[in-house]
Amino acid sequence: MTVQEFSARKPDPALGGIIKLAILAVGGQGGGVLTGWIEAVARASGYAAQATSVAGVSQRTGATVYYVEMAPLPPHGTSPVFSLQPAAGDVDIMITAEMMEAGRAIIRGFVTPDRTTLITSTHRALAVSEKMVPGDGIADSAEVLAAAEIAARRVIAADFDTLAVRNGSVISASLLGALAASQTLPFPREAFECAIRAGGKGLEASLRAFAAGFDAATAPALTARVAPAKHAATVQGPAKLMAEWQRLAARVAAMPAPVAELALPGLQKVVGFQSLAYGAEYLARLDAILAQDDPAQNHALSREAAKYIANAMAYDDIIRVADLKTRATRSARIRAEMGAKDGNLLQLTEFFHPRAQEIVGLFPARLGARVESDPKWMARLTRWFDKGRRLRSNSLPSFLALYLIGGLRFWRPRTLRHAQEMAHLDRWLATALSYRATNYPLATEVIRCRRLVKGYSDTHSRGLSKFDRVLAAIARIAPRDDAADWARRLREAALKDEEGKALDGAIRTIESFA
């Protein structure tokens, strides 16, 4: 049976004869393929149809807008005149291949309660604007979905991306299934399936994804996703090392429950970063905090310290970056994300850009300190090393280079970078504890400020600069009764933007009354 053998249903009179459908999708989501399928279904069913597209910006800062208009051919055979792009308040069907694109469609006025059926996937593909925020810049999907329920006449929402991936296809196929199930177009399911078959590529996988999308749109409850239960990481190793690990884990188990809850994953992180002896150092620092903590405060200070001391001790240096790039688990994750099969060759290019500071950080502490204080030597190292390197880690020479650098873990405790990180860690904890007796909430907020320091290279330097500025500002308002609240505001301001403009404003406010 061919597409041409299907007769179109009578169009909805509310549509005024012309059906207007818009699609928002980014690269790799098959928006063009989906548009082609819809156009093919319409024309094969005796409709006149026109499809256009306006390309978005690359790097996930804008989606491509695909637009389809269709109408029954008039009896006398003349074709209707179609518009080239959607207009606000004049879209019958809106399909978005990602949750935030649904929000953008609503903001642009493409979704209206009197006529628009909104079909959207609930999964997230983070935009550049979300990734750039130093803190948590991820938009709230629940708010978008709530707005969609108000803005649209009807909403069909499910994780169509996961449904497609499970069936070996891409989201365009599952979205087509949802469109067919919505019955907003006057064409039967078989017409959509025939359009897929006419494509000639990946037919079986596309048809499976189409069926999954169709079922999800028909019974959305079936696709409700349940968050998988979190399991503690399994620790394995030689018997001698496992015996030492059990001794460290027993020390954690003896801590108050609120602290132990975060101390165990913190211990795992620190031991994985360096060694069991390093894990013992972590527990020694945490024990020192516990000894000065107040049980009446539910050990809030120690609980935060359990998390952030571990983060501070497991800092990102060249050794760690190279180690992470050569781990088998990372390679397996990338292959899974790319959909590579066992018979596929995956070529991976790593961007490796250590600055002169990272190179000196590998030197012995005393030698590194002398070199770092010498502008001439730092200029030489910058000239030699400060350039972006692209390493094909699927090739043996590049992989071995990264593997050997990652294997320098034994050398790390002797390096200048380690000495600097431990000195900074001790100063931070001393500052927090200095506030404990007079203002316990402020001490806790200072512990949380360590969140500002993260990443590698320039990212680490910017975070460290913000951290120092925040602690200096806190020192100015420490005598105030609301110092803890201001410390929280300063930290949140520092996390809002990469340039630190929000932090500048918060500090100026403090300077006006401090």
**Can you give the pLDDT of all 514 residues of the chain as single tens digits?**
344 444 444 444 444 478 999 998 876 677 888 999 999 999 998 888 999 988 765 444 467 889 999 988 776 666 777 888 888 888 999 999 888 888 889 988 999 998 999 999 988 776 555 555 666 556 567 888 888 899 999 999 999 998 998 888 889 999 999 999 999 999 999 999 999 988 767 788 999 999 999 999 887 554 434 334 455 567 778 888 999 999 999 999 999 999 999 999 999 999 999 999 999 999 999 999 999 999 999 999 999 999 999 999 999 999 999 999 898 888 888 887 777 777 788 888 888 788 889 999 999 999 999 999 999 999 999 888 877 778 887 788 888 989 999 999 999 999 999 999 999 999 999 999 999 999 999 999 999 999 999 888 888 889 999 999 999 999 999 999 999 999 999 999 998 888 888 999 999 998 887 5
What is the DSSP-derived secondary structure letter of residue 491?
A: H
Q: Identify how many contiguous H helices and E strands the chain contains and give both numbers.
A: 23, 8
Q: Tokens 């049980």 sit at which residue?
A: 295
Distance CA 26, CA 11 (A): 30
Q: Which two tokens stand for residue 503?
A: 């932090």
Residue with tokens 């994780």: 159
- Give the per-residue pLDDT at 414: 96
Beta bridge partners of 350: 391
The CATH topology of domain 3-223 is: Pyruvate-ferredoxin Oxidoreductase; domain 3 (3.40.920)
Helix (H) or strand (E) holding 158: strand 154-158
Cα–Cα dist 103/464, whole Å: 35
Please check whether residue 267 is in contact with residue 310, taking contact to mean a CB–CB distance below 8 angstroms.
yes
Q: Write down the pTM of the prediction.
A: 0.70
Distance of CA 355 to the CA centre of its chain: 26
DSSP state letters, 159-194: -HHHHHHHTTS-HHHHHHHHHHHHT-SSS-HHHHHH
- The pLDDT, as a whole number, for residue 8 is 43
Please state, in angstroms and as integers, the Cα–Cα distance from residue 183 to each residue in 111, 189, 265, following that order.
18, 9, 50
Rounded CA Rg of the chain: 29
Q: Per this entry, what is the length of the chain?
A: 514
CA–CA separation, 412 vs 249, rounded Å?
24
Among 201, 144, 146, which residue's Cα sits nearest to residue 168?
Answer: 201
Closest CA to 64 of 94, 31, 99: 31
CA distances to 24, 100, 210 from 169, rounded to whole Å, are 19, 22, 9
In contact, 291 and 415? CB cutoff 8 Å: no
CA atoms of 299 and 278, how far apart (whole Å):
24
pLDDT at 12 (0 to 100): 46
**Nearest CA among 112, 61, 58, 125 for reference residue 86:** 112
> DSSP labels for 297-338?
GTTHHHHHHHHHHHHHHS---HHHHHHHHT-HHHHHHHHHHH
Give the three-class secondary structure for 34: helix
What's 92's DSSP letter? Answer: S
Q: What is the pLDDT of residue 58?
A: 46
pLDDT at 225: 43
In the chain, what are the domain boundaries? 3-223, 235-314, 318-413, 415-514
307-332 in b/e form (b: 16+ CB < 10 A) is bbbbebbbbbbbbbbbbebbeeeebe
Q: At what angle do helices 458-477 and 501-513 cross, to 10 degrees?
A: 20
Alpha helix ranges (H) inside 58-169: 99-107, 128-132, 141-151, 160-166
Whole-angstrom distance, CA of residue 425 vs CA of residue 442:
18
| Token pair for 29 | 């989501």
Whole-number pLDDT of residue 139: 59
135 vs 466: CA distance, rounded Å: 12
| Residue of 128, 138, 132, 134 lying closest to 495 (CA atoms) | 134
